[in-house]
Amino acid sequence: MMREVAVIGVGLSRFGERWNAGLKELMAEAGVAAIEDANVKSSDVEMLFGGTMASGRFMGQEHIAALMSDELGFRNIPAVRIENACASGGSALRLGYMSVASGIHDIVVVGGVEKMTDVTSAEAGTALGGAGDQEWELFQGITFPGLYAMMAKRHMHEYGTTEEQLASVSVKNHDNAYKNKYAQFHKKITVQEVLDSKMVSDPLKLFDCSPISDGAAALVLAPLEVARKYNDTPIKILASEQASDTLRLAARESLTSIKATSIAAQKAYKHAKVSAKDISIAEVHDCFTIAEIMAMEDLGFYDKGKAAKAVENGETRLNAGISINTSGGLKGCGHPVGATGVKQAVEVVWQLRGEAGERQVKDARIGLTHNVGGSGATAVVHIFGRAN
């Protein structure tokens, strides 16, 4: 019999170009905050799962889970690193959830971290390129902006999506990030500024792309049955699901959909006994503006070809039909790849607790996180709700 699982503590470092902070400092900012929020002692923690994608390439540092455990003062507990490209954080959360749900452990810490800004842009691109098919994509010269640009072009061809609609995603997410003290960017932008920004890979401009970021995030999980012993506002994990697709884009059934997202989402809705219409808030993987539009459709929030217009019409802003990427998303808040999936959960927990400040969505009751690895070979979906 699976146990119900709750988030009892959350913590986040500030995202951005953190020149004066290393991996240890970032971990400590997020980890200590989560432990204090959960009202647990270091000695209570029984297991740690740490998500990071490319710390060896970015920092020359491997063995990250042991480093996290050491830095946070957990002694002699099992600690495991999770690498699943940009879905490393979401995958770490899923394994933490499974560990508690199975009854193997009671108090589990899930962390995610990446320190990306200490290398050149070219070196960062090479490190991130490892999330794709080296032989069939990267060796041929394609980049991740190029892969998502092909998706964008096909979406435009099939559904009439416009560059202005892509830009509307970025504008909305920067507006939300402006209200988030942890976000990398605190500057509102306009559709015209996005359109005028430097072309990266047609039709994607600089402001259509998530940035290179440093940052960390952490969660503390516990069985729901004892969660209130530690925290008055535990948030229940209603579902945790994951799916995979082909690594290379050329082998996909469609360029306008990420099948792994659709599969994981439908399984999550079934497990949580909810539908897409029940979701109040969602943190989706907007590594590029087209990715948010595709996610909205693959998650069932909008029919295929309808999401771009919905963003343009303001239907996904704060306190709109469905509030998407209230944190600012990867685009506005930042994208330290190993931390992103955990950060998404931190934001949803704050929203469901009513602790999101200026970003607070009124009467938020059910939230969803959607974390993608590579161009869509991995997708992890979690659904959260208030504990009754």
Each residue's pLDDT tens digit, 281-331: 999 999 999 999 999 999 999 999 999 999 999 999 999 989 999 999 999
Catalytic residues: 86, 335
The rounded distance, in Å, linking the Cα atoms of 51 and 35 is 17
CATH of the domain at 306: 3.40.47.10
Please state the pTM of the whole predicted model.
0.97
Domain boundary among 235, 269, 291: 235
Range of the domain at 347: 131-211+239-386
Each residue's pLDDT tens digit, 99-130: 999 999 999 999 999 999 998 888 888 888 88
Same structural domain, 335 and 347: yes
Pairing between β-strand 108-115 and β-strand 214-223 as defined by DSSP bridges: antiparallel
Residues 372 and 277 both lie in one domain = yes
Same domain, 147 and 99: no
Q: Are residues 186 and 315 in the same domain?
A: yes
* 220 and 96 within one domain: yes
Q: Are residues 149 and 274 in the same domain?
A: yes
Residue 55 lies in a domain: yes
In a domain, 376, yes or no: yes
Domains in the chain: how many in total? 2
Let me know whether 56 and 163 are in one domain: no
Low-confidence ranges of the chain (pLDDT < 50): none
pLDDT of residue 313: 97
Is the domain of 265 the same as that of 325?
yes
Residues 229 and 285 placed together within one structural domain of the fold: no
Strands 199-201 and 204-205: antiparallel
